[in-house]
Homo-oligomer: A and B are copies of this chain.
Amino acid sequence: MQRSIRVGLIGLGTVGSGVVHILRRHAKRLQHEVGRPIELKGAAVRDLSKPREPEVPSHLLTDDALALARRSDIDIIVEVMGGVDEAKAYALEALQQGKRLVTANKAIIALKGQELFDAAKQNGVGIYFEASVAGGIPIIKALRESLAANRIESVYGILNGTCNYILTQMSNNGQPYETALKKAQELGYAEADPTFDVDGHDTAHKIAILSSLAYGYRVDAQHVQFEGIRGIQPQDLECAREMGYTVKLLGISRRLDDGVSVQAHPTMIPETSVLANVQDAYNAVAVVGDAVGPALFLGLGAGKLPTASAVVADLLDAARDLAANAPAEIPLCWRADVPPSADSETEAQKALKSACSRRYIRLEAEDRPGVLAEIAAALGRHGVSIAAVSQKESTPMSEGTVPLILLTHLAAERGLRAALDEINDLPCVRQPGVSIRVETEL
């Protein structure tokens, strides 16, 4: 029998324990798939005394992750600890020691991708990161391999299960944001500090990775404009429904004539859209290619076993590449020797500024004559034309005000922002307005 594929695991939290579970449960079949047994040689944890489920023999545990990443009797390092700087240091060490790296960590790919792939290239080993975006949905492989014959025109989707769960709760049950968040926390869908998810950082990181792969040049996660879902209220979802729309937090990227636009924000999409019907903690990613046309991938984007499913699939790929001694496959976006498809990231940002959108705007305005005229004038000054207005007899948020709903026609992003700034400064407007992009084509 051939020697085993020797694996070191960094992190034994939710995902790490899912990986151990799958490796044990399906050991025999996985061995058939790869032709060699997969053997867990060590696992790095923070707290050696913490009980683990499934149990991992204590002689395999270490609290020295760097030493694990350096061990000469390990072929593949699986990093599922999360975080940025520490995780990156271990990942880099593993690559420099000539080990293949499997990671579920979107942050190190989105923020430190270039450094990691440079090290991978120098050492002739691959990085496998399917689990970093959309959990169990094989969207990374789809973009890197299955759709490689396509010029990708756009990639967009629901990439954060926490936000999708909260928005589904708010929309279906009329719950306020805070109640829905609390329920998400109780169910383990949201962290105690939900900032990273609900404010859109997570979606921005993920759409940056997907865009980099889709368009063939690196989109820096730090340049992605993003908004979260904290400002959205049940009445916004109700208004959306009345107009035939649903609100989802989307990562959206498009190829433009002179670059790409990459954004992450709450978006009103037609309720007949497939994405509108993606509920709860599910994720979905749509890709439009010049040959394949529109394609959509749907599944659980987080959680112990769905994420571990992607990690183990990567582990099998890494094991096959190891057995075949295959060279590192560096994605075009992280390859220094391939000219980028667009001139620079600055071009992408320039393109973004010339982008257009339609907006849903909800304002808390004074209930007196002339207010609507003031607001309409501000929009008009910035070239934003109003498609519909609705003022409802609902409970005001503070005395003497009424909620005012505006729907704009397609307008330049620049003008919309300037108009919103001006409106928020009007004395007749009590609170910063809620503004949600409307996409009719998704």
Of B136, B146, B216, B306, the residue contacting A313 (CB under 8 A) is B146
Contact A316 B148 (CB under 8 A): yes
Given A138-B142, A324-B324, are A299 and B293 neighbors across the interface (CB < 8 Å)? yes
Contact B18 A136 (CB under 8 A): no
Contact A299 B295 (CB under 8 A): yes
Q: Specify which chain B residues have a CB less than 8 angstroms from the CB of A324 in the assembled complex.
A: 324-327
Restricting to A216-239, which residues have a CB under 8 Å from any CB of B? 216
Chain B CB within 8 A of A296 CB: yes
Contact B22 A291 (CB under 8 A): yes
Of B141, B274, B309, the residue contacting A298 (CB under 8 A) is B274
Q: How far in angstroms is the closest Cβ of chain B from A304?
A: 9
Of B299, B327, B332, the residue contacting A294 (CB under 8 A) is B299
C-alpha gap A130/B142 in the complex (Å): 12
Restricting to A249-295, which residues have a CB under 8 Å from any CB of B? 272, 274, 277, 289-295
When C-beta atoms are compared, the residue in chain B nearest to A294 turns out to be B299
Restricting to A17-32, which residues have a CB under 8 Å from any CB of B? 18, 22, 25-26, 29-30, 32
C-alpha gap A329/B272 in the complex (Å): 41
Contact B145 A141 (CB under 8 A): yes
When C-beta atoms are compared, the residue in chain B nearest to A299 turns out to be B295
Q: Specify which chain B residues have a CB less than 8 angstroms from the CB of A407 in the assembled complex.
A: none
Restricting to A297-351, which residues have a CB under 8 Å from any CB of B? 297-300, 303, 305-306, 308-313, 315-317, 320, 324-327, 329, 332, 335, 338
Contact A309 B145 (CB under 8 A): no
When C-beta atoms are compared, the residue in chain B nearest to A284 turns out to be B296
When C-beta atoms are compared, the residue in chain B nearest to A332 turns out to be B32
Chain B CB within 8 A of A89 CB: no
Q: How many residues of A contact B (CB 8 A)?
A: 58
C-alpha gap A146/B213 in the complex (Å): 17
Contact B332 A33 (CB under 8 A): yes
Chain B CB within 8 A of A149 CB: yes
Of B22, B145, B150, B151, the residue contacting A317 (CB under 8 A) is B145
Contact A306 B327 (CB under 8 A): no
When C-beta atoms are compared, the residue in chain B nearest to A293 turns out to be B300
Contact B299 A26 (CB under 8 A): no
C-alpha gap A290/B149 in the complex (Å): 31
Contact A289 B274 (CB under 8 A): no
- Give me 20 A-to-B residue pairs in the complex whose CB atoms sit less than 8 angstroms apart, sorted by A's number: A25-B151, A26-B151, A29-B216, A32-B332, A32-B338, A136-B291, A141-B141, A141-B146, A149-B316, A274-B298, A291-B308, A292-B299, A293-B299, A293-B306, A294-B300, A295-B299, A296-B296, A298-B298, A320-B326, A324-B324
Q: Which 9 A-B pairs have the closest CB atoms?
A: A138-B146, A149-B312, A295-B299, A136-B292, A291-B309, A291-B305, A296-B298, A292-B309, A324-B326
